[in-house]
Structure formats: C-alpha cells, structure tokens
Amino acid sequence: MTTQGEQEPRPAGQDGDALAHTNRARGGRRRVLAWCALAAVAAGGSWVVARPDPADLIPGLGRTSADAAKTVPAVGASPSQPLTEVQAFTAERYFPAQRGIEQDAFKARRTAARQGGDCAETLQDRAQDVLHQAGCQGYVSVGFTSLDQKVVSSVTVLRFADEAAAGKAWQTLQGKPEALAFVLSDAAPTPAPSTSTSTGTTPPNAAKPLTATQVKAVGHYVTVTTSRYVDLRTANATPDTLLNDATRAVSFTAGAPFLWM
C-alpha cells in the first residue's frame, strides 16, 4: 500500500538488470557503428590510392610541369651530358657527310674531312708556320666538290681561346691564305699543285691555278676557304663568278654555326 505520489517498489534486482541490459545494447550498437565507419574509411582510402592518374587516361591532363620535374629517373639511366666545345668541334658535327651545300646556284657534297688539335697539320709548309704562337687550339678541315664536278673547295676552321687571338690570326692569314694546305682527301691535307721544276725551284713567272679565297673571323674562330677548278686552269676568259660563288657558299656554311656562340 502506497501513498499518493510514491512509486510502487519493484522487485529486488529488477532495476539493475534492466540498466545493464540497456548499457550492453547501447555499447553493441556503438561498436557496430564504429566498425562500419572504419570499413567505410578503409574502402575510401583504397579507392583514392587505386584511382588512376588523369594524365594516364588523357594525355596532357592532370600533371603539371612541377610534378614532371619531380619524376625520378629510371634505374640505370644516365642523364645525357652536354658536349664541351672541344668535344663538339668535329667535322661530322659541323659538316655532316649526308648534308651537302646548296647556296643559290652552287651545290656541292663533302668529299673529305679531317680534324685535330695540332693546327700545324693544316699548313702547306711547316717550315713557314704562320700560326706559330698564334694560340690555335684545334682545327677542322673539309673538302667539297661541286655536283657538276667542275669546282673543288677546301675550308679550314681554326679555333682559338678568344676573339683577340682569332683576330690576330685573321690578320696574318689575310695576307697568306695559301699557307694552309688544300684539303682533297681524308688522309692528309693536299699541298697546292706544285709548279716547281726538277731542280726543286719554282720559276718566278710560273702560273698558279686560278683560285678564289675568303678569310673570315667569326667569334674566336677563323675560317679559310679556297676554291679552284678541277682541271687546275690558270685563267678564265670571263669574270670568274663560279669560283666566287663556290667560295662564298662554303665560307658561309663554315661560319654560320659560330655566329651565335
């Protein structure tokens, strides 16, 4: 019997059992929700990792230049090193055999090429070394033959330490371009046709082959270009535009690679 406002007493142990049951139920639901959340996060993380790069699907999309710069090079791949000036100074680099000369009406192909570090090898006569103490550091000598087989040209490019040294050599060679041998073969520079007699002397009035020559200073390089006829003619009845055109074309080809250096 209870008075108004009082709660009827419950059997002993009933409140504790109900509360424990309620707590266990709530704890179970929390664990289920936590595991579901973890599973969702794991699934989402796996999708992010496995998601393909847009750049792999559409070329040019999704990868910036900064990302590309961070790309790790393949194992074993060695980065290409730029050539030094000495390494790049070769006949094949500046006068490729497969690339002929075609300037205006003049067309020619390469027929000889030599190179080296001893510039004395380019001389017609080593006893008259016009390059002595000139500071020449290397040379490339190339021979060309016109496609009509009428004209042969020889060009020698000399490399110096600086423009001042090249300028001095240019001044010297301006007055003695014939000091350099005419290149006709890969084996060795070919001396200019000799007009000497059996006694070894050269008559003062001996006729020399008709030639056209240009000596140019381009940066710290000097180019010496000479053209002559295959038949070694000593004169031409008309103004010799053919030799001039050949020399101008070969000289320009020789100097062009060094204009921007």
46 and 175 share one domain: no
Q: pLDDT at residue 197 above 50?
A: no
Q: pLDDT at residue 109 above 90?
A: yes
Q: How confident is the model at residue 152 (pLDDT cuts 50, 70, 90)?
A: very high
- The reported pTM is 0.63
Q: pLDDT at residue 79 above 70?
A: no
Q: In whole angstroms, how far apart are CA 70 and each of 64, 75, 130, 220?
A: 10, 15, 54, 39
Query: What does the alpha-carbon distance between residue 237 and residue 226 come to, in Å, rounded to a whole number?
Result: 20
Long-range CB contacts for residues 186-190, cutoff 8 Å, separation at least 24: 186/112, 186/113, 186/114, 188/114, 188/121, 189/114, 189/121, 189/122, 189/124, 189/141
Query: What does the alpha-carbon distance between residue 247 and residue 241 come to, in Å, rounded to a whole number?
Result: 10
For residue 73, tell me if it sits in a domain.
no
In this prediction, residues 154-162 reach a mean pLDDT of: 96
If you search the block for the tokens 């790049």, which residue do you land on? 88
141 and 231 share one domain: yes
For residue 59, tell me if it sits in a domain.
yes
Q: pLDDT at residue 241 above 70?
A: yes
Q: Report the CATH number at residue 236.
A: 3.40.1000
Per-residue pLDDT of 216-233, as tens digits, reads: 999 999 999 999 999 998
Q: Which domain holds residue 25?
A: 17-63
55 and 178 share one domain: no
pLDDT of residue 56: 36
